[in-house]
């Protein structure tokens, strides 16, 4: 038998094609004809790509897009979506952060909580708009997917009188949830209502700052001051923009904007810039509130919601054991006196076993402080044991931002944020050595990240500062391979993989943001 040069060339191309598909895990996906031409022109399909990801629902809000979508990552279908202009009647919905409750079969039903910002937050990103009077916002919508469509079950702000617009987290019991706000410096902890029954307030806590230096705004935080932590009592009158200290939230990387006078507001010097409440998902006894411009994490007992410790991550606080003492000064009121605030902070979170706690030191030190949080009797004994960073990190940027652990706790993924129009990245951290092993370039304005319950994939979002490139992306966890982008025009500022169990909740929007 003779083989022509043309046949030989076709065979070589076919072999290369099959080899390439095998590397993608798709070598067995060739069509029934078994020919290389079929592999090249008939396979692989998008179905084959999605099948790799498994049966997970990716829940994503669009910040200026004004809605929420639920994507079946095994098929690429958008299972359902909603837009809050129509569903909730919000004139200018800035759909901000969300968290999903664990459900044994999310394809049949699951619930989540998503909030909104309002007021002058519409003008943060310099987007051209004729709107002069945006809606107040600060809604807290509790919603569900019923197997067919999405439904709003309640606006928790209307039910309780407390409107908050930043991070949402689910408690490890899967029955409570917390919502924070960095303009009001208030956390609300809520007991989830059943069905359309209203949720109730378990605790409402306010943080306030009194600077040592009242005359020089640039020194209002670095020179120290007194942090007051106070439990609020009903009735609550905190809907919409009521209670705000500043006119808009400090943007990512904007921890120094307060001292620079770039953010107007009625109580700027009293700002703490609360970010979130993150729960220990394993021991379940403590949760930590991260305060951005105060550079600390306040540890709360989750049975009483009394503060038990104040952790500070700067190396300049080593001599005081990385703690600031708390003093009870009244019924439901405590203070902590800071000699100085060497660096702001931002995000915080626990690993899946709760024995390590991470606090982002941003803007001045740009390092992630790692605490040993294994002492469950006394969190005042939590100590910094490592700092994660890179010698190239200088000045304000890159800003260590959002984080997610793998289910086995062996890796920590952290988004690295730069201002527009810069490329943003993800850092991969080995939690045995607390060293960065890889940095992956993603796109402009990276935000939260989510690891699938089986620990195989990481999903993330980048929003393009609400006006340029945006989408979602995928990283394979076993080798940190960047798998590419999935298109989306909605400027996602958050995302979660809907957990299918309490165990999966431990790496969802419960311990980290």
Boundaries of every domain in the chain: 1-44, 45-505
pLDDT at 363: 84
- Nearest-5° Cα angle at 183, 179 to 187: 25
pLDDT at 405: 98
Kindly report whether the global pTM for this prediction surpasses the value 0.85: yes
- Nearest-5° Cα angle at 98, 47 to 485: 35
Kindly list the strands in the beta sheet with 367-372, ordered across the sheet, starting from the edge strand earlier in the chain: 345-350, 356-361, 367-372, 383-388
Greatest Cα pair distance in the chain: 97
Q: Which two tokens stand for residue 487?
A: 């298109």
- 4, exposed or middle or buried, with CB in 10 Å at 0-12, 13-18, 19+? exposed
CA dihedral 499, 505, 511, 513 (to 10 degrees): 0
pLDDT at 42: 62
Place of tokens 């902590």: 336
190 contact partners, CB below 8 Å, separation of at least 6: 156, 160, 176, 177, 178, 179, 199, 200, 201, 202
- 196, exposed or middle or buried, with CB in 10 Å at 0-12, 13-18, 19+? exposed
Q: Which two tokens stand for residue 405?
A: 């652990």
pLDDT at 482: 97
8 Å CB contact between 152 and 88 = yes
> pLDDT in tens for each of the 513 residues of the chain?
343 433 433 333 333 333 333 334 444 433 333 444 444 446 789 999 899 999 999 999 999 889 999 999 999 999 999 999 888 988 888 999 999 999 999 999 999 999 999 889 988 888 888 988 899 999 999 999 999 999 999 999 999 999 999 999 999 999 999 999 999 999 999 999 999 999 999 999 999 999 999 999 999 999 999 999 999 999 999 999 999 999 999 988 899 999 999 999 999 999 999 999 999 999 999 999 999 999 999 999 999 999 999 999 999 999 999 999 999 999 999 999 999 999 999 999 999 999 999 999 878 888 899 999 999 999 999 999 999 999 888 878 888 999 999 999 999 999 999 888 889 999 999 999 999 999 999 999 999 999 999 999 999 999 888 888 889 999 999 999 999 999 887 888 899 999 999 999 999 999 999
Q: Count how many Cα atoms sit within 13 Å of the Cα of residue 495 in the half-sphere of its side chain.
A: 31
Assign a CATH topology to domain 45-505. Methylamine Dehydrogenase; Chain H (2.130.10)
pLDDT at 25: 43
pLDDT at 394: 80
pLDDT at 1: 39
8 Å CB contact between 499 and 71 = no
Report the candidate in 168, 172, 307 with the shortest Cα–Cα distance to residue 231. 307
pLDDT at 162: 98
């Amino acid at each position: 038998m003779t083989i022509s040069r043309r046949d030989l060339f076709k065979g070589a191309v076919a072999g290369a094609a099959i080899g390439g598909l095998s590397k993608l895990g798709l070598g067995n996906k060739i069509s029934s004809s078994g020919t290389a031409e079929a592999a090249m022109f008939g396979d692989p399909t998008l179905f084959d790509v999605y099948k790799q990801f498994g049966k997970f629902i990716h829940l994503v809000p669009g910040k200026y897009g004004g809605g929420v979508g639920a994507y079946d990552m095994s098929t690429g279908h958008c299972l359902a979506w909603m837009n809050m202009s129509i569903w909730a009647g919000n004139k200018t919905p800035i759909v901000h952060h969300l968290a999903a409750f664990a459900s044994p079969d999310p394809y049949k039903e699951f619930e989540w909580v998503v909030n909104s910002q309002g007021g002058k937050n519409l003008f943060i990103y310099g987007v051209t708009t004729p709107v002069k009077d945006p809606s107040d916002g600060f809604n807290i919508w509790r919603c569900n997917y019923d197997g067919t469509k999405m439904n709003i079950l309640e606006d928790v702000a209307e039910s309780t009188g407390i409107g908050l617009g930043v991070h949402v987290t689910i408690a490890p019991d899967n029955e409570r949830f917390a919502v924070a706000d960095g303009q009001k410096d208030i956390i609300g902890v809520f007991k989830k209502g059943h069905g359309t029954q209203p949720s109730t307030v378990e605790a409402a806590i306010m943080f306030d700052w009194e600077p040592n230096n009242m005359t020089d705004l640039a020194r209002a935080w670095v020179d120290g001051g007194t942090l007051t932590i106070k439990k609020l009592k009903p009735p609550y009158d905190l809907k919409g923009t009521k209670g705000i200290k500043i006119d808009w939230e400090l943007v990512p990387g904007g921890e120094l904007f307060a001292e620079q006078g770039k953010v107007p507001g009625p109580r700027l010097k009293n700002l703490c810039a609360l970010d979130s409440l993150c729960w220990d998902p394993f021991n379940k006894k403590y949760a930590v509130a991260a305060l951005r411009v105060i550079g600390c994490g306040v540890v709360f007992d989750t049975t009483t919601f009394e503060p038990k410790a104040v952790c500070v991550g700067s190396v300049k606080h080593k001599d005081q054991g990385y703690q600031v003492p708390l003093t009870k000064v009244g019924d439901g009121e405590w203070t902590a006196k800071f000699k100085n605030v060497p660096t702001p902070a931002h995000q915080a979170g626990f690993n899946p076993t709760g024995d390590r706690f991470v606090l982002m030191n941003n803007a001045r030190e740009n390092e992630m402080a790692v605490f040993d949080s294994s002492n469950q009797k006394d969190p005042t004994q939590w100590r910094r044991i490592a700092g994660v960073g890179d010698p190239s990190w200088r000045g304000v940027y890159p800003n260590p931002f959002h984080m997610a652990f793998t289910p086995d706790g062996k890796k920590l993924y952290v988004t690295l944020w730069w201002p527009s129009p810069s490329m943003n990245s993800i850092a991969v951290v080995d939690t045995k050595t607390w060293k960065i092993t890889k940095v992956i370039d993603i796109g402009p304005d990276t935000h939260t990240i989510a690891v699938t319950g089986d620990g195989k994939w990481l999903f993330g979002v980048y929003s393009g500062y609400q006006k340029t490139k945006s989408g979602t992306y995928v990283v394979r966890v076993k080798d940190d391979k960047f798998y590419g982008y999935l298109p989306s025009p909605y400027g996602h500022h958050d995302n979660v993989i809907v957990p299918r169990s309490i165990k999966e909740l431990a790496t969802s929007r419960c311990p980290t943001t």
